[in-house]
Amino acid sequence: MAKVRTTLTVDADLLRAVKVRAARTGKGDSEVIEEALRRDLGLELLDRIWAANRLAEDEALALGVEAQHSTRPPRP
């Protein structure tokens, strides 16, 4: 996945905590922040779900369409 550079303004104590975590885990500040964002946004869970997916793309699409249609009221 491509990385992009950005500038954030964060609380000084929060940045200090990031630096401490990075030093304790041997990771960079950016990696600690990225992991926290992924965890908070639920992206790690989505990655695990997708990794466990055994359906082909067309099968998954058909299943999704079927689920969507099952929640709609019947047409008159």
Which pLDDT tens digit goes with each residue over 27-51? 999 999 999 998 888 887 777 777 7
For residue 52, the model assigns a pLDDT of 79
pLDDT at 57 over 80: yes
Tell me the pTM: 0.59
Q: Domain ranges for the chain, please list them.
A: 12-70
pLDDT mean across residues, the chain: 89
Give 14 or 46, the one with higher predicted confidence: 14
3-state secondary structure the chain: CCCCCCCCCCCHHHHHHHHHHHHHHCCCHHHHHHHHHHHHHCHHHHHHHHHHCCCCHHHHHHHHHHHHHHCCCCCC
